[in-house]
């Protein structure tokens, strides 16, 4: 049985985005010039490593 790691927001303004097998955590207000908190996690069955970008 495979267990997926949970991905949680880093701060109260962060949002978890899941697209094409990649989980991203970023600030909602990043368009306004605020800093990004980015966490990329692959949800592929082959790899389960977390990368910080």
Q: Residue 25 falls within a domain, yes or no?
A: yes
Q: When comparing pLDDT for 18 and 41, which is higher?
A: 18
Q: Residue 43 falls within a domain, yes or no?
A: yes
pLDDT in tens, 2-26: 666 666 666 776 777 777 777 776 6
Which residue range(s) make up the domain with 33?
Answer: 14-52
Burial class from Cβ neighbours inside 10 Å (0-12, 13-18, 19+) for residue 52 reads: exposed
Q: Residue 2 falls within a domain, yes or no?
A: no
Q: Residue 38 falls within a domain, yes or no?
A: yes
| Two structure tokens written together for 1 | 């049985």
Residue 28 has pLDDT above 50, yes or no: yes
Instruction: Determine the Cα–Cα distance for residues 32 and 26; give it in Å rounded to an integer.
Output: 13
Q: Residue 44 falls within a domain, yes or no?
A: yes
| Two structure tokens written together for 17 | 């985005």
Number of domains in the chain: 1
What is the average pLDDT score of the chain?
Answer: 61
**pLDDT, average across residues 35-45:** 54
Q: Residue 41 falls within a domain, yes or no?
A: yes
Q: Residue 36 falls within a domain, yes or no?
A: yes
């Amino acid at each position: 049985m495979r267990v997926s790691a949970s991905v949680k927001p880093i701060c109260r303004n962060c949002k978890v985005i899941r697209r094409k097998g990649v989980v991203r955590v970023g600030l909602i207000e990043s368009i306004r010039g605020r800093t990004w908190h980015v966490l990329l996690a692959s949800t592929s069955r082959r790899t389960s490593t977390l990368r910080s970008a």
